[in-house]
Amino acid sequence: MDDLISVIVSTYNRADALDAVLRALCRQSDRHFEIVVADDGSGAATQKVVGDWVARAAVPVKHVWHEDCGFRLAEIRNLGIRASAGRYIIFLDGDCIARHDFVAAHRRLAEPGWFVTGNRILMSRQLTERVLQQGLEPELWGLAKHISLRSRGDLNRLAPLFDLPLGALRKKRARRWKGANGSNMAFWRKDLDAVDGFDAAFKGWGREDSDVFIRLIRAGVRRKDGRFATGVLHLWHREADRSGLDVNERQLADIMQGDTIKARRGLSWSGQASPAVLAGEIER
């Protein structure tokens, strides 16, 4: 249907966190959406988690996978886009737990000609371990619980929990890409098509989100601030391997010096070398 939203959840070999993320998404107040798990080469444990949610979720769940050939977030996101059916697409990292109104808040902020970037609350390592090992459900916690956790240092801040009607302030940084968070963001599919999606030339951690923000702004799409509406709870994890960041920084610098709008290896390229595989078809 025309107002269907696709939530693309990127993941890699963190089945326990993904299970918590999918559980929270299945508790959304807005049910007119689908979930696409964009899997950057995970093993059987992730496949099982997705399969379990395919069988019991009240919303459609798809699983897109490609072979593990290192960190290829941009490419697996493109494969997720290709498998999606919504006109509007929310991207959520597979370690970010959404509160019950997450999809509804993004739907409310969706506006033609704009993309939305949200923010997050970081959980401590100790709280993350309790959540995953004890099956705790942070998406159900109220403000008093969050205040208690913040006072103990288990949360780094509280501000993203609040829902404030910022009005025109949400468009104050319309042409600014710096500071935008890639773990929680949303775009119109037609805008992603116009810039040919994410650039799979970015491999290894870092800067693939900055690249797509820059190219969208050049194409005339503006940035809208999703803070104080779409905040999520981010599970702790070890810092990603950043050994390839220098290469990605140089690629981004080249992009900034030119006038590129289309991705070099974007949606039209993605999948030619390593096609997407949907849940139920994966063989290992």
Compute the distance between CA of residue 196 and CA of residue 210 in angstroms, rounded to an integer: 15
CATH topology of domain 5-278: Spore Coat Polysaccharide Biosynthesis Protein SpsA; Chain A (3.90.550)
Stated pTM of the model: 0.94
Domain ranges of the chain: 5-278
Distance CA 6, CA 33 (A): 6
Torsion over CA: 243, 249, 250, 251 (sign): positive
Residue 75 CB-half CA count within 13 A: 25
What is the structure's pLDDT at 2? 74
Task: Report the run of H or E that residue 192 belongs to, with start and end.
Answer: helix 189-194
Q: Which residues pair with 232 in a beta bridge?
A: 98, 120
Beta bridge partners of 122: 234
Res 106 pLDDT > 80: yes
Q: What is the largest CA-CA distance in the chain?
A: 51
> pLDDT at position 129, please?
98
Which residues are bridge partners to 155 per DSSP?
A: 123
Residue 183 to residue 10: CA distance in whole angstroms: 9
pLDDT in tens, 186-229: 999 999 999 999 999 999 998 999 999 999 999 999 999 999 99
Four-residue CA torsion sign, 64, 68, 69, 70: positive
Report which of 122, 102, 92 is spatially closest to residue 184, judged by C-alpha positions. Answer: 92
Place of tokens 């899997």: 39
DSSP-derived 3-state class of residue 144: helix
* pLDDT tens digits along 38-67: 999 999 999 999 999 999 999 999 999 999
DSSP 238: P
pLDDT tens, residue by residue, 60-98: 999 999 999 999 999 999 999 999 999 999 999 999 999
